[in-house]
Structure 1
Amino acid sequence: MADSSAAGAYRDVNCNEPAIKWKPLSMTFVEYPAGDFIGFVLAWFSMIPIFLLVSFGTLIIFRRDLHTMSYLLGLLLNEVVNWILKHIIRESRPLRDHQILFTEYGMPSSHTQLMFFAASYFVLFVFIRIHRNYHWVDDIWKYGVSIAGFITAIIVAFSRVYLLYHTYSQVICGAIVGMILGGAWFCVVQLVLTPFFPVIASHPIGEFLMLRDSTLIPHVMWFEYTSTRSESRSRQRKVTSRKSQ
């Protein structure tokens, strides 16, 4: 992340040799106006999509859950669709005096599209896939995290406009496309891919990779908690029994 006083996307080096063109490579590079605290905060929000993708990768490595893998696959396909749309529409980003960019086109906003895809898929997953309790009070956390997800997506979208990476029309288009793709991908996973999860998990390759299918488990977090606690107590009793002999 850098402020607006940084060098441009291409800069010449004054030396005896021919001018050298420099180009940024970091995917986490975000510019904000120097001395602007709001811009500084929004620049960090603007990097949430990168953090999100890294978090999914880490979660998959440690949990090997097929639903999580499908979620990440949808996010990656969403990025492919965004790249295709940008190169079909070919709408330029807003102009400013200085700007370091990785893609020339801005319609639709990839950050906004990814965040609204993630938020839409997450809401559907929480309310359809996760076990429903008998009383709505026990499910109030679902409303909280769903609202938080969309608020975060809105802040990320606003940050792209505030930092002059996109126009309002570009982020609005990204939000609409993201929500449509998020809902469509959830339907694909729920209706098309999920029936194959038991086959994938029980396949020799799936067993070797320790892939998990949690489709039939109503409350995964509670199941993992109780299973871990039960196994821990069982092993503790065995250790105590051996010491007493």
Structure 2
Amino acid sequence: MEDPEIHSNIKWIPLSITAEYPEGDIIGKLLAFSSMLPHALIISFITLILFRRDLHTISYLLGLVLNEGINYVLKHTLRQGRPLVRPSLLHEYGMPSSHSQFMWFFTTYMFLFIWVRLRHISYTNTIWICIWKTAISVACLVASIIVAVARIYLQYHTVSQVIIGGLLGSVLGVLWFLFTQFILTPWFPTVASWRVCEWLLVRDQTLIPNIIWFEYTSHRHESKHRSRKLVSMKSQ
């Protein structure tokens, strides 16, 4: 572990409690912004759930929360320090990296979701489907690598802490995907029929191959139907 006195002459500028960068370091500032990506993803998940009420999205978020819980337990069990002590952190344990574990869980699960769970939508517009699947996969991979590099560059974690976090997140991502795919998904129709789920408009969209196209065509059909009905009423 590096001596904290070596860095005493460096002024660190905070972006959040988990993102600081050396003053005047443009690369460090950009990497500090990337370190806030897990927080942005959590907010995105909550927003998506509020608007779409999909059981699989809820399961995805629950997996991320469980992943964070495991990371918390491991950190307080191993109690390995960080390379640079920061008084702004609530604790100084760094093994494994929670940012790296979160991002690689997210990326691994997303990769499996796109290429395994959504494989049935490749039967139409194969080229374009493959393009957007590849683009999303690459974007998630690049984002995870950038966040991992940022945690090392900004001296929040050692290389080993980031690697272990990434490996653990990937393994947990695979396990949670398998659990969701083979254990939870068969129960989604039953859960969606519960009174509380009907009241909250929670739904199971598993069997709909392209939900965006489905919602678009449903909306267009309903709009045409209501337009014809309105014209018919006016003509009477």
Structure-1-length-normalised TM-score: 0.86
2:163 to 163, 168, 172: 172
Partner SS for 2:207: coil
For 1:129, the equivalent position in structure 2 comes to: 117
Cα distance in structure 1, aligned partners of 2:206 and 2:11: 48
For 2:108, the equivalent position in structure 1 comes to: 120
Give the residue type in structure 2 aligned to 1:4.
K
Cα distance in structure 2, aligned partners of 1:220 and 1:76: 25
Shift of 1:28: 5.0
> Which structure 2 segments of 5+ residues have no match?
1-9
Shift of 1:103: 2.5
Structure 1 pair 30/202, CA: closer, same or farther in 2 (3 Å)?
Answer: same
Q: Is the 8 A contact 1:28 1:50 kept in 2?
A: no
Cα distance in structure 2, aligned partners of 1:79 and 1:176: 14
Give the residue type in structure 2 aligned to 1:125.
F
Spell out, residue by residue over 1:63-87, the C-alpha distance to the aligned partner (whole angstroms, 9 max, x if none).
Answer: 1100000000000000000011111
2:202 to 203, 206, 211: 211
2:78 equivalent to 1:89: yes
Q: Is the 8 A contact 2:13 2:21 kept in 1?
A: no
Cα distance in structure 1, aligned partners of 2:169 and 2:11: 29
Identity in percent = 52
2:61 equivalent to 1:72: yes
2:216 to 215, 221, 225: 225
Shift of 1:95: 2.5
Q: How many residues align?
A: 224
Structure 1 pair 6/155, CA: closer, same or farther in 2 (3 Å)?
Answer: closer
Structure 1 pair 233/28, CA: closer, same or farther in 2 (3 Å)?
Answer: farther
Cα distance in structure 2, aligned partners of 1:118 and 1:158: 17
Cα distance in structure 1, aligned partners of 2:71 and 2:137: 24
2:197 equivalent to 1:197: no
Q: Is the 8 A contact 2:18 2:35 kept in 1?
A: no
Partner SS for 2:83: coil
For 1:53, the equivalent position in structure 2 comes to: 42
2:188 equivalent to 1:187: no
1:109 to 72, 76, 97: 97
Shift of 1:224: 1.3
Shift of 1:88: 1.6
Partner SS for 2:121: coil
> Which structure 1 segments of 5+ residues have no match?
8-25
Structure-2-length-normalised TM-score: 0.89
Shift of 1:241: 3.2
Spell out, residue by residue over 1:31-70, the C-alpha distance to the aligned partner (whole angstroms, 9 max, x if none).
Answer: 1011111111111100000000011011111111000000
Give the residue type in structure 1 aligned to 2:103.
M
Cα distance in structure 2, aligned partners of 1:145 and 1:192: 26
Structure 1 pair 5/216, CA: closer, same or farther in 2 (3 Å)?
Answer: closer
Give the residue type in structure 1 aligned to 2:65.
L
Give the residue type in structure 1 aligned to 2:201.
M
Cα distance in structure 2, aligned partners of 1:208 and 1:27: 38
Q: Is the 8 A contact 1:28 1:47 kept in 2?
A: no
For 1:4, the equivalent position in structure 2 comes to: 11
Q: Is the 8 A contact 2:38 2:102 kept in 1?
A: yes
4+ residue stretches of structure 1 with deviation over 6 A?
A: none
